[in-house]
Amino acid sequence: MSQKRYFLQEDQIPSQWYNIQADMKTKPAPMLDPSTKEPVSVESLSTIFSEACSRQELDFSNRWIDIPDEVREKYKYYRSTPLVRAYGLEKALDTPAHIYFKNESVSPVGSHKLNSALAQAWYCKQEGVANVTTETGAGQWGTALSYAASLFGLNAAVYQVKISYEQKPYRRSMMQIFGAQVTPSPSMSTRAGKDILTVDPNHQGSLGTAISEAVELARTTPEKCKYTLGSTMSHVSLHQTVIGLEAEMQMEMAGEYPDEVIACFGGGSNFSGLAFPFMRHNIEGRTNTRFIAVEPESCPKMTKGKFEYDFGDEAGYTPLIKMYTLGHKFKPANIHAGGLRYHGAGAVVSQLYHDGLMEAMDIPQLESFDAGILFAKAEGIVPAPESCHAIAATVREALKCKEAGESKVLLFNLTGHGLMDMSAYDQYLRGNLY
């Protein structure tokens, strides 16, 4: 057996992110202001987002963007993350495939989301903004942002969907440990929240209500408070490319190159982060890697959605985005992979999918948990329910290799651990999960 885990030295941690927008032959269609139908500008975006992130969002010319030193210093707290050869999983499947995974679950907050939270919080700090705000459902993004804000001395106000605030108290506790002010949404602290509660005092909240409240907070005090987002936007994907850039060097250490790159897909940030650095070699015509985005069967925006302009949120507050979408009013089933319950796909990934540069696959919930349990037994890590989707797709591909007698190299992203999702595993073990 050759090496199990591959690490980089601190000085090999990337010092630049990769901006695929510069290399795309067909650029994503512009985001439109819903009232004027004009393309949004950096100026209009930066009334809610930090100026640096707004500039990155609309940057179609710079391939490489410097990672600020302060952000890179914080990356050193947990990066490089290990690239792991999944010998245990290979053995359990009796497959000739070589399976690797990038283990983002080792970040202090337990998921890849910190890679962008650190960058977004730092830019706010640098622009003299003392407060950041966001929404969170199950709490992965809220936790990452709360920790990042505390590292840079910012106040974080997180609107958490009321029903998960009540039913999933531990991620709320984590956010509070990091000093964030966590408010169940809808709340009486904003106009939007008051309006919703006036109509329905027992409203349980949704990402839509939480986004509306966070955006309102940022919009009413733009000099003092900025809004941040954990997925879908191009600048979030940009920050996540640190994953794939590391993986590229680590695969080289292992003496291999992936035939297939596989990642679960909510809004697209971890998929983009792992895939884009490898995809740039396909764009240059140097490689022929397959890229597979894996979504839940109950929220299949790529495999079953339409490519058209739609809002990014339920309430219709965001700009119009041309993307694969199930429609912003689509209500995904209440599956355990909360991070994958999103109706749309983000402009960049949607364009790449439309142009045939990547593929998509959807996986039933039960199959995803079967794969997660198999992985846990084989590798000792209980995966996040979101990550289980990538594992299930990898299992499908590895079994195809077995049938064909092919030793393909498969690389997937382990986006997070599932230690805060044990109630979902409990249900699985009691046979109550479908």
Interface contacts to ligand PLP, rule CB under 6 A: 111, 113, 140, 231, 264-271, 339-340, 384, 386-387, 415-416
Q: How far is the CB of 293 from ligand PLP (least distance, A)?
A: 8
Q: How far is the CB of 197 from ligand PLP (least distance, A)?
A: 27
Q: How far is the CB of 418 from ligand PLP (least distance, A)?
A: 8
What tokens appear for 322 in the block? Answer: 């041309």
Q: How far is the CB of 131 from ligand PLP (least distance, A)?
A: 23
Spatial distance between the Cα atoms of 247 and 252, rounded to a whole number of angstroms: 8
Q: How far is the CB of 326 from ligand PLP (least distance, A)?
A: 15
Spatial distance between the Cα atoms of 119 and 125, rounded to a whole number of angstroms: 10
Q: Which one, 186 or 372, has the nearer CB to ligand PLP?
A: 372
Q: For the sheet with 5-6, list strands across it.
A: 5-6, 83-85, 98-103, 409-414, 260-264, 290-296, 359-363
Per the CB < 8 A criterion, the answer to whether 288 and 261 are in contact is no
What tokens appear for 112 in the block? Answer: 């890849």
Q: Which one, 129 or 302, has the nearer CB to ligand PLP?
A: 302
Please name the amino acid found at residue 119: A
Q: How far is the CB of 72 from ligand PLP (least distance, A)?
A: 21
Spatial distance between the Cα atoms of 204 and 73, rounded to a whole number of angstroms: 40
Q: Which one, 140 or 234, has the nearer CB to ligand PLP?
A: 140
Spatial distance between the Cα atoms of 260 and 292, rounded to a whole number of angstroms: 7
Q: Which one, 81 or 190, has the nearer CB to ligand PLP?
A: 81
Q: Which one, 104 or 216, has the nearer CB to ligand PLP?
A: 104
Per the CB < 8 A criterion, the answer to whether 83 and 250 are in contact is yes
Q: How far is the CB of 134 from ligand PLP (least distance, A)?
A: 12
> The tokens 């009486």 sit on which residue?
188
Q: Which one, 95 or 240, has the nearer CB to ligand PLP?
A: 240
Q: How far is the CB of 264 from ligand PLP (least distance, A)?
A: 5
What single-letter DSSP state applies at residue 263? E
Phi, psi of 209 (to 5 degrees): -65, -40
Q: Using CA of residue 104, residue 108, residue 110, residue 113, what is the dihedral sign?
A: negative
Q: Which one, 196 or 243, has the nearer CB to ligand PLP?
A: 243
Q: Which one, 193 or 230, has the nearer CB to ligand PLP?
A: 230
Q: Which one, 190 or 231, has the nearer CB to ligand PLP?
A: 231
Spatial distance between the Cα atoms of 214 and 136, rounded to a whole number of angstroms: 10
Query: CB under 8 Å to 292, separation ≥6 — which residues?
Result: 260, 261, 262, 263, 358, 359, 360, 361, 393, 397
What single-letter DSSP state applies at residue 356? T
What single-letter DSSP state applies at residue 152? T
Spatial distance between the Cα atoms of 216 and 41, rounded to a whole number of angstroms: 19
Q: How far is the CB of 245 from ligand PLP (least distance, A)?
A: 16
The backbone region for 298, taken as left when phi is positive above 0, alpha when psi lies in -120 to 50, beta otherwise, is alpha
Q: How far is the CB of 50 from ligand PLP (least distance, A)?
A: 19
Please name the amino acid found at residue 325: T
Instruction: For residue 33, count CB atoms less than 10 angstroms from its CB and return exposed for 0-12, middle for 13-18, buried for 19 or more.
Output: middle
DSSP letters along 10-29, please?
A: GGGS-SEEE-GGGT-SSPPP
Q: Which one, 97 or 264, has the nearer CB to ligand PLP?
A: 264
Q: How far is the CB of 130 from ligand PLP (least distance, A)?
A: 26
Q: Which one, 158 or 401, has the nearer CB to ligand PLP?
A: 158
